[in-house]
Amino acid sequence: MIRFGMGYDVHKLVGGRKLILGGVEIEHTVGLLGHSDADVLLHAIADALLGAAALGDIGRHFPDSDDAYKGISSLILLEHVRDLLLEKKYEIGNVDATIVAQKPKVAPFILQMNENIAMALRIAIDQVNVKATTEEGLGFTGTEQGISAYAVVGIEKK
C-alpha cells in the first residue's frame, strides 16, 4: 500500500544565527531561530515522512525541551526519521518540497539540498525535488520575518 504524508514548518528570522536550509549553510544577514539548527526544509520533510507512516511528528520524537537536540543538525534528525521508517518496513518513494522565502534566493543551492536529502534518506537524487518561491512581499515570509517550507512524500511497505 502506498501512503502519503504532508509536512509544514516555519521559523522566525533573527540576527546572530546561521541560515541553514536543506543542510546547506547559506550566507545571509539573519538566520532561523530554533532549538536545533532550525532547518525548516528538513523539518517539513521529516514531518511528512513521520505522518505518512503514522508515527507522529518531529516534536514528539525530538522535543525542544531535550538538550540532546540543542543546535543539532537537522540532517541527523532526518537520518533518525529514515531509521524509524526502516524499522516499520517502509520504503521512501519520493520527496517533493517547497521553500517559501523572500530572501535570500536559494536556487543556487537547490542541487546541494537535493543531494543532502537523498544522502540522509539513502535514496536516489531523482527521488528528491526541492523548489523555492517567494510570496511577492506578502505575509510574514514576504516581509522577511521568517521562512517556511512544505513537503509531500510517498512511502510504501516493503
Positions at the binding site for a divalent metal cation: 9, 11, 43
Binding site residue list? 9-11, 35-36, 43, 57-59, 62-66, 133-136, 140
Dihedral pair phi/psi, residue 68, rounded to 5°: -60, -25
- Opening angle at CA 124, ends 49 and 151, nearest 5: 30
Return the amino acid letter for 129.
N
Q: What torsion, rounded to 10 degrees, do the Cα atoms 143, 149, 150, 153 define?
A: 170
Question: What one-character DSSP code corresponds to residue 71?
Answer: T
